[in-house]
Structure 1
Amino acid sequence: MKIHHSKAFISLFMVCSFVLLAACSSQESSSESQANTDNKEDVPQAAKDIEGILKEGPGKFAGEKYNEEKIKKLLDEWPKDISAEEAYSRMVQLVAEDYQPHVKTYDSIDPNIQLSRKKPGERDTPEGKQAKELNVSI
């Protein structure tokens, strides 16, 4: 029984050590990446929410202008140590699609429904006529 507890304690100690080391190393690398960011060209932050994505304009290779070879050449020119967020922003600048025509279409749709009945359960009758009373037995 004591051997089992000591193995669990050692395993827990190792896991905590790895977590602590990983946390310390990420702080150092983040400070290095901040220093490297100053040397890189400024890339505008790409939108991450749906409203922002729909409002962004098309990228350089959007739609019919898509050219995989040119995009691959541009990707090879990127620095190797960029963050995932910067890579995302750069990709959006290259291949983002133009959603403005679709946004205009959806904005023009009226989601309200017009009912001819004034009360729930009322039957439709021609103008000026009254509906006959209907009794149902079950």
Structure 2
Amino acid sequence: MDSTGAGAASSKPKKGAAGRKAGGSRKSRSVKAGLEFPVGRIGRYLKQGRYAQRVSAGAPLYLAAALEYLTAEMMELAGNAARDNKKTRIQPRHILLAVRNDEELGRLLAGVTIAHAGVVPNIHPELLPKKAVEKASVEEVESPKISN
């Protein structure tokens, strides 16, 4: 042992650094895959959740890519809904309108309730009042005028 108190153990490379070149920079799996969602964190959640005894290296990567795609799709549609309502900030209402107006996302999230989003406006056509123009034309056809 030297005067600093560190023994021969301090000269060993740290765990995980043995395969790396000296001066090499670390790259996360998310960066390697070109994703924004955290592959490592999703892998940790899969392991901690005990969904299966073992988790492959590709499982969190695939799940992160799928979640990122769904999120991007929803945010694009919600952004369009916000713009239609002349708003610059996406609110829960815009997410609901985006999801319910899209056929595939609507089926995927059919049983989901979004808090503070309300409902999609829908009035059955039979409940709407009849138009006055239609009434006038129908009455003329049914009772023709008698001329003298």
Between the two structures, name the one with larger relative contact order (CA 8 Å, sep ≥ 6): 1
Q: Same fold (TM over 0.5)?
A: no
Greater per-residue helix proportion: 1
- Classify the TM-score, shorter chain: under 0.3
TM-score normalised per structure 1: 0.26
